[in-house]
């Protein structure tokens, strides 16, 4: 089929080099980071801190979050919040009363879109009867349950604090307490076979989850696994595993809409979609990252990383440790690296709207990607092909 030419927004094409001009601001989400876990998993490179059995400074940390939000309000004044995500760490370590207080503080300061998705990450190791219902009563609308595996031996290798029974019990309660929830599963685990993966999928799909996120285990720097790397499935076996996941989720009615995300109709994760579509997000909490757009620039923010330092600085009105504008020549790359993770790709008109740059800047890379069968495009949209999904790193590399 003959390829249609890319339509370049006239205002974008006339922009001086090195400038940003946004005709509209993207949707704004709110991310809140609660950094404590019962213990640090050996594969985890997130900003999380083992709490053991000690008491958490919930009240002081909530005070710091509210102070952080108050200081940030002038940057987002008048904008509506499309989604809220409370992540970690293990946010379900905080009491439902604390989550209620947090969400009340957000509602008192920022307008939420009707039906705003409010997600809380929860681990089965922090599960107790009726706790999930209490989070629902506090205003959480979506739970993200970090199961990772149902195999007791595999969970032990991953350093998880729960076992398979606790995972099944947590999912059963999530299913009763929430209209929508997310089940997180990992694959290509230490010593995992294809048969073992199918066993995990059998259990996961038996709950008929509305949403399933699948993560390939990788060994990241500065983790315990980096110091003592486990033996992981080779690339061929990992690829077979992903093929099995894609086939079985499709058979179960879960449509793949992002590289690692599968959902039933009406249950896609709005918050993560906003990330992948290059939307804005205000990040609150220790080590939280944010991206905020203004008519003439797009900035990234980082909060102080260590919880004690973050609380001290946030309460003094200085929660942000680093803020800088994204260089205009990096905006096309960042946009494409995110949006090509989506089955639906991106609208060409949205490129100029979200980056303030001419789509012509990526035309040569798009032509190379199309020639290699990694994307398909028309006058309005660019989508990764099935081959592009399988070789996503190669596809993204064409834009670097």
pLDDT band at 11; cut points 50, 70, 90: very low
pLDDT band at 4; cut points 50, 70, 90: very low
Q: Which of 145, 140, 134 is nearest to 181 (CA)?
A: 145
What letter would DSSP give residue 218?
A: -
Q: Which of 336, 333, 337 is nearest to 348 (CA)?
A: 336
Q: pLDDT tens across 192-223, in order?
A: 999 999 999 999 999 999 999 999 999 899 88
The answer, yes or no, to whether residue 392 has pLDDT greater than 80, is yes
Considering only 8-22, 60-74, 218-232, which range has the smallest mean pLDDT?
A: 8-22
Which of helix, strand or coil describes residue 295?
A: coil
- 336's enclosing H/E stretch is helix 331-339
Higher per-residue confidence, 18 vs 307: 307
pLDDT band at 333; cut points 50, 70, 90: very high
pLDDT recorded at residue 43: 86
pLDDT recorded at residue 1: 30
Q: What are phi and psi of 228, to 5 degrees?
A: -135, 80
What letter would DSSP give residue 342?
A: B
Cβ-proximal residues to 273 (8 Å cutoff; 6+ apart), any chain: 258, 342
Which of helix, strand or coil describes residue 17?
A: coil
- Domains of the chain in start order, with CATH, are 10-20+332-397 (1.10.10.10), 28-276 (3.20.20.70)
> Cα separations (Å) of 173 from 131, 180, 200, 315?
9, 12, 19, 37
pLDDT recorded at residue 15: 44
Q: pLDDT tens across 48-93, in order?
A: 888 866 689 999 999 999 999 999 999 999 999 999 999 998 999 9
pLDDT recorded at residue 44: 85
The model's pTM: 0.92
What letter would DSSP give residue 192?
A: -
The answer, yes or no, to whether residue 345 has pLDDT greater than 60, is yes
Q: pLDDT tens across 371-383, in order?
A: 999 999 998 999 9
Q: pLDDT tens across 141-170, in order?
A: 999 999 999 999 999 999 998 999 999 999
pLDDT recorded at residue 130: 82
Q: How far apart are CA 352 and CA 369, in angstroms?
A: 20
């Amino acid at each position: 089929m003959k390829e249609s030419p890319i339509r370049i927004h006239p205002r974008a094409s006339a922009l001086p080099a090195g400038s940003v001009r946004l005709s509209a601001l993207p949707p704004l989400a709110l991310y809140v980071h609660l950094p404590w876990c019962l213990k640090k998993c050996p594969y985890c490179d997130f900003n999380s801190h083992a709490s053991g059995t000690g008491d958490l400074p919930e009240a002081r940390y909530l005070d710091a979050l509210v102070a952080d939000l108050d200081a940030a309000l002038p940057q987002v004044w008048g904008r509506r919040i499309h989604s809220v995500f409370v992540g970690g760490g293990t946010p379900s370590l905080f009491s439902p009363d604390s989550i209620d207080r947090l969400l009340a503080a957000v509602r008192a300061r920022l307008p939420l879109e009707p039906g705003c998705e409010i997600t809380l990450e929860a681990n089965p190791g922090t599960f107790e009867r009726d706790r999930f219902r209490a989070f629902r009563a506090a205003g959480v609308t979506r739970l993200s349950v970090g199961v990772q595996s149902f195999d007791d031996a595999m969970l032990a290798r991953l350093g998880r604090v729960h076992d398979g029974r606790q995972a099944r019990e947590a999912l059963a309660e999530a299913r009763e307490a929430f209209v929508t929830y997310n089940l997180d599963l990992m694959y290509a685990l230490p010593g995992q076979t294809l048969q073992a993966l199918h066993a995990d999928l059998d259990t996961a799909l038996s709950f008929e989850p509305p949403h399933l996120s699948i993560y390939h285990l990788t060994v990241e720097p500065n983790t315990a696994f980096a110091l003592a790397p486990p033996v992981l499935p080779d690339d061929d076996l990992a690829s077979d595993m992903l093929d099995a996941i894609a086939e079985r989720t499709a058979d179960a009615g879960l449509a793949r809409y992002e590289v690692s995300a599968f959902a039933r109709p009406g249950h896609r994760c709005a918050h993560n979609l906003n990330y992948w579509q290059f939307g804005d997000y205000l990040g609150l909490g220790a080590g939280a990252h944010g991206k905020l757009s203004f008519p003439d620039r797009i900035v990234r923010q980082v909060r102080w990383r260590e919880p004690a330092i973050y609380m001290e600085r946030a309460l003094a009105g200085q929660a942000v440790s680093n803020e800088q504008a994204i260089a205009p020549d990096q905006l096309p790359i960042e946009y494409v690296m995110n949006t090509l993770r989506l089955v639906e790709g991106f609208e060409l008109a949205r490129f100029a709207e979200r980056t303030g740059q001419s789509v012509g800047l990526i035309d040569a890379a798009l032509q190379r990607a199309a020639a290699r069968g990694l994307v398909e495009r028309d006058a309005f949209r660019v989508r990764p092909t099935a081959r592009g999904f399988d070789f996503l790193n190669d596809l993204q590399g064409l834009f670097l």
